[in-house]
């Protein structure tokens, strides 16, 4: 009975979400439940919240899982088996896979939430519409941060250091703003929402959010807004062209709040053409995601299942 279900958990800083999908039809959601992470209460509490959520869903279904995939804010360092790069900082340095296995009595597999996003959009989302046979897919997150996930032959690539897909910390602007990662001028500090808002503030002296900046640019009434959008487009072209030069994916999916801006899919692609090593031609379908907030938890569920697809 258990084998007919596929379990995934999205372990966010605010909410922990569990989804159980039908193994026979992954688009069918059997159960879905959320619980507050209450991250401020510390690491042990987060683990116990996960256990509480799993036992609640198990009771509902009358079935306990034997394997659960997890989408996490950072990554499990493959060398040390401890977490790193988590913005829920209490997780960093902790052997979370081992602790979850101990607390839940199940086999676990962990992947970064951006990797889970890419995996879910590949198997269940936008990639299915444009090229279901795509061998290489890159999922971009452009929102409050910039991240990414790489899926090859249906499998997520965590990589040797666990940083597969982390293009958000490639250096884009030499001498740019200092990043929490210890370097400066990272992609994330140029084209994330907060970085663009900060840029707008630095040239206009006004605090506006991205949707307002975009609106002012489209209305043609604010030269600073237009300069901000120009900065976004040009740097998007530059940063994405390097991704294509290295991976040449068959599909790129762009999630996150900034990723929702239509101009990226028109003028943004023109800017990629400027920099790509392909005589100015970009054939890559660059598309919006389809699964919305569900991508993390669905991708987590697919971590065990994707081998079979």
| Binding footprint of Zn ion on the chain (CB under 5 A) | 169, 179, 181, 186
CB 49 within 8 A of CB 38: yes
> 88 or 284: whose CB is closer to Zn ion?
88
Which of helix, strand or coil describes residue 42?
Answer: coil
> 146 or 276: whose CB is closer to Zn ion?
146
List, in sequence order, the alpha helices (H) in the chain.
43-61, 96-104, 113-124, 126-130, 188-191, 193-204, 210-219, 223-247, 267-275, 295-305
CB 225 within 8 A of CB 242: no
Please identify which residue in the block is written with the tokens 């659960």. Answer: 68
The token duo for 139 is: 């999922």
Which of helix, strand or coil describes residue 20?
Answer: strand
The CB-of-169 to Zn ion minimum distance in angstroms stands at 4
CB 16 within 8 A of CB 10: yes
Distance CA 128, CA 290 (A): 10
The CB-of-167 to Zn ion minimum distance in angstroms stands at 11
Which of helix, strand or coil describes residue 92?
Answer: strand
The CB-of-184 to Zn ion minimum distance in angstroms stands at 8
The CB-of-61 to Zn ion minimum distance in angstroms stands at 41
The one-character DSSP state at 171 is B
> 77 or 170: whose CB is closer to Zn ion?
170
Q: What is the dihedral of CA 302, 159, 249, 166, to 10 degrees?
A: 100
The CB-of-83 to Zn ion minimum distance in angstroms stands at 18
Residue 5: beta bridge partners? 22
> 26 or 172: whose CB is closer to Zn ion?
172
Provide the greatest CA pair distance for the chain.
Answer: 62
Distance CA 273, CA 42 (A): 47
Q: Residue 90's closest CA among 126, 37, 133, 131?
A: 37
The CB-of-178 to Zn ion minimum distance in angstroms stands at 9
The CB-of-237 to Zn ion minimum distance in angstroms stands at 20
> 8 or 164: whose CB is closer to Zn ion?
164
> 122 or 192: whose CB is closer to Zn ion?
192
The token duo for 122 is: 């590949």
> 47 or 195: whose CB is closer to Zn ion?
195
The CB-of-73 to Zn ion minimum distance in angstroms stands at 15
> 186 or 300: whose CB is closer to Zn ion?
186
């Amino acid at each position: 009975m258990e084998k007919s279900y596929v379990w995934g958990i999205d372990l966010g800083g605010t909410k922990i979400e569990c989804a159980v999908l039908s193994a026979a039809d992954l688009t069918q959601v059997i159960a879905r439940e959320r619980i507050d992470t209450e991250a401020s209460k510390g690491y042990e509490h987060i683990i116990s919240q996960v256990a509480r959520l799993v036992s609640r869903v198990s009771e509902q279904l009358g079935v306990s899982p034997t394997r659960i995939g997890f989408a996490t804010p950072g990554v499990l360092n493959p060398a040390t088996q401890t977490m790193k790069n988590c913005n829920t900082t209490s997780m960093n340095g902790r052997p979370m896979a081992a602790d979850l296995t101990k607390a839940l009595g199940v086999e676990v597999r962990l992947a970064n939430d951006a990797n889970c996003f890419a995996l879910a959009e590949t198997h269940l989302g936008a990639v299915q519409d444009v090229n279901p046979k795509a061998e290489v897919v890159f999922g971009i997150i452009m929102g409050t941060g910039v991240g990414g996930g790489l899926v090859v032959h249906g499998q997520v690539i965590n990589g040797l250091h666990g940083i597969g897909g982390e293009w958000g910390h490639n250096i884009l602007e030499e001498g740019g703003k200092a990043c929490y990662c210890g370097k400066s001028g990272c992609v994330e500090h140029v084209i994330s929402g907060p970085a663009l808002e900060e840029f707008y503030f630095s040239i206009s002296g006004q605090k506006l959010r991205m949707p307002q900046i975009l609106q002012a640019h489209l209305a043609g009434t604010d030269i600073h807004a237009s300069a901000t959008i120009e900065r976004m487009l040009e740097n998007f072209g530059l940063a994405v062209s390097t991704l294509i030069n290295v991976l040449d994916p068959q599909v790129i999916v762009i999630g996150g709040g900034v990723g929702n801006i239509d101009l990226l899919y028109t003028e943004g692609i023109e800017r990629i053409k400027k920099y790509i090593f392909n005589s100015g031609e970009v054939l890559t379908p660059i598309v919006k995601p389809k699964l919305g907030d569900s991508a993390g938890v669905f991708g987590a569920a697919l971590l065990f299942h994707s081998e079979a697809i």
